[in-house]
């Protein structure tokens, strides 16, 4: 086993809430190491919808998932967090000194008095449609997320699914593509009503097509899809020509090794209190979509609030003999110095 890297706080998950944890902890002079299974920060925002607009971040009428990630990285830069990407938190144990030791599947060993689990829904992967031979097209002409919208420009695109991801990307990509067909197994959608109404308006105007049915087969060669066979109720079997296929059949969310950390669980979520967002184990906190408490809302905004309260208790655990003095960034020269701003720039 590698020699343990010691720090104040270990954060599992580098999504938006994990990143904001760094900010709140950094204001209290607490150093952080972050572990994430992905190869970059941002969590689901970066992995699944980097260019998708988000409308409920305070002070940002609209911001993309990637831009939100970039802004958070800029905000936490003064605190020099250390990232361990492409690694899964695999083992956790309590040491005799009261600290926690976390080991990753890459044999990185970290030690800290505080653990913050901010892993969204856990490790996630897309549910793949049951279409024979689809694997040979994946990453070439068949995709389960949109990394760059330009990759779909001037293509004949088929999108499958009836949730928010399918409808949102249908609306966002429609102006770019040569043609667009949305396929869903029924004429009823789980997406936001406004998105459904906008989609139906595009169909009525002839700017995209809607096909109700199930995709049964893919045709093409050398990784390039050429058509999809769809079984419909009204028209029987039809073929849809396409050069790009986006499948949104949902995500499989798994806690993975976190489920073996000895924490009480509630339907694969981690119960916490609402005073400090601590789990059933003192010194282990859960912030963001992975936690549960009565009235919980799965919003990035809620995770930011949870991070602020978590940091206060984390300080008390790490420095039990120090007095915690609450300060505002707008008026504290000490906090402004930490952030590298002057009085005019402080907000």
Structure pTM?
0.65
Asked whether residue 347 is domain-assigned, the answer is no
Task: Mark whether 159 and 202 lie in a shared domain.
Answer: yes
Distance CA 320, CA 48 (A): 40
Phi-psi region of 296 (alpha: psi -120 to 50; beta: other; left: phi over 0): beta
Asked whether residue 44 is domain-assigned, the answer is yes
Asked whether residue 156 is domain-assigned, the answer is yes
Asked whether residue 345 is domain-assigned, the answer is no
- For 194, the 3-state DSSP assignment is helix
Asked whether residue 174 is domain-assigned, the answer is yes
Task: Mark whether 150 and 216 lie in a shared domain.
Answer: yes
Domain count, the chain: 2
End-to-end CA distance of the chain: give it in Å, rounded.
45
Tens digit of each residue's pLDDT (9 = 90 or more) over 171-210: 999 999 999 999 999 999 988 899 999 999 999 999 999 9
Asked whether residue 211 is domain-assigned, the answer is yes
Task: Mark whether 112 and 211 lie in a shared domain.
Answer: no
- CA-closest candidate to residue 15, choices 31, 1, 30, 35: 35
Task: Mark whether 241 and 259 lie in a shared domain.
Answer: no
- CA-closest candidate to residue 181, choices 205, 153, 159: 159
Task: Mark whether 152 and 232 lie in a shared domain.
Answer: yes
Distance CA 49, CA 146 (A): 6
- CA-closest candidate to residue 158, choices 214, 82, 237, 104: 214
Domain termination site, one of 249, 272, 305 = 249
Give the side-chain half-sphere CA count within 13 A for 103: 11
Asked whether residue 56 is domain-assigned, the answer is yes
Distance CA 206, CA 204 (A): 5
Domain termination site, one of 218, 249, 280 = 249
Task: Mark whether 157 and 110 lie in a shared domain.
Answer: no
Residue at token pair 């706080």: 9
- What CATH number has the domain bearing residue 334? 3.50.50.60
Q: Residue 161: its pLDDT value, please? A: 95
Domain termination site, one of 206, 227, 249 = 249
Q: What is the DSSP letter of 281?
A: S
pLDDT per residue, tens digit, the chain (347 aa), is: 578 999 999 999 999 999 999 999 999 999 999 999 877 898 888 766 777 889 999 999 999 999 999 999 999 999 999 999 878 888 999 999 999 999 998 899 999 999 999 987 665 567 889 999 999 999 899 998 787 899 999 999 999 999 888 999 999 999 999 999 999 999 999 888 999 999 999 999 999 999 999 999 999 999 999 999 999 988 899 999 999 999 998 766 566 667 777 777 777 789 999 999 999 999 999 999 999 999 999 999 999 999 999 999 999 999 999 999 888 888 889 899 989 887 555 44
Between the CA atoms of 182, 188, 194 and 198, what dihedral angle is there, to the nearest 10 degrees?
30
Expressed as residue numbers, the domain containing 258 is 5-124+252-339
Asked whether residue 237 is domain-assigned, the answer is yes
Distance CA 347, CA 328 (A): 9
Distance CA 43, CA 17 (A): 9
């Amino acid at each position: 086993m590698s020699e343990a890297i010691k720090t104040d706080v270990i954060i599992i998950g580098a999504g938006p809430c994990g990143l904001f944890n760094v900010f709140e902890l950094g204001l209290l002079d607490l150093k952080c190491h972050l572990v994430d299974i992905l190869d970059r920060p941002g969590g689901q925002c970066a992995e699944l919808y980097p260019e998708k607009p988000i409308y409920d971040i305070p002070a940002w009428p609209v911001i993309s998932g990637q831009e939100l990630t970039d802004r958070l990285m800029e905000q936490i830069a003064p605190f020099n967090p250390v990232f361990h990407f492409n690694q899964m938190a695999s083992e956790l144990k309590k040491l005799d000194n009261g600290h926690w030791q976390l080991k990753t599947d890459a044999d990185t060993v970290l030690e800290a008095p505080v653990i913050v689990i901010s892993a969204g829904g856990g490790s996630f992967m897309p549910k793949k449609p049951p279409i024979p031979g689809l694997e040979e097209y994946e990453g070439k002409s068949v995709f389960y997320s949109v990394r760059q919208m330009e990759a779909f420009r001037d293509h004949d695109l088929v999108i499958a699914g009836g949730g928010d991801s399918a409808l949102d990307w249908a609306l966002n990509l429609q102006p770019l593509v040569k043609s667009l067909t949305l396929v869903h197994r029924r004429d009823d959608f789980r997406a936001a009503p406004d998105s459904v109404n906008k989609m139906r308006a595009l169909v009525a105007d002839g700017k995209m097509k809607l096909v109700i049915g199930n995709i049964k087969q893919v045709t093409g060669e050398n990784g390039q899809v050429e058509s999809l066979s769809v079984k419909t109720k009204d028209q029987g079997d039809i073929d849809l020509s396409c050069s790009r296929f986006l499948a949104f059949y949902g995500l499989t969310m798994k806690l993975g090794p976190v489920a073996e950390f000895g924490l009480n669980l509630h339907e694969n979520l981690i119960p916490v209190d609402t005073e400090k967002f601590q789990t059933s184990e003192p010194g282990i906190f859960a912030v963001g979509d992975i936690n549960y408490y009565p009235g919980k809302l799965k919003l990035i905004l809620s995770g930011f609030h949870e991070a602020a309260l978590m940091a206060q208790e984390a300080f008390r655990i790490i420095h039990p003999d120090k007095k915690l003095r609450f300060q505002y960034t707008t008026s504290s020269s000490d906090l402004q110095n930490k952030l590298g701003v002057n009085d005019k720039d402080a907000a």
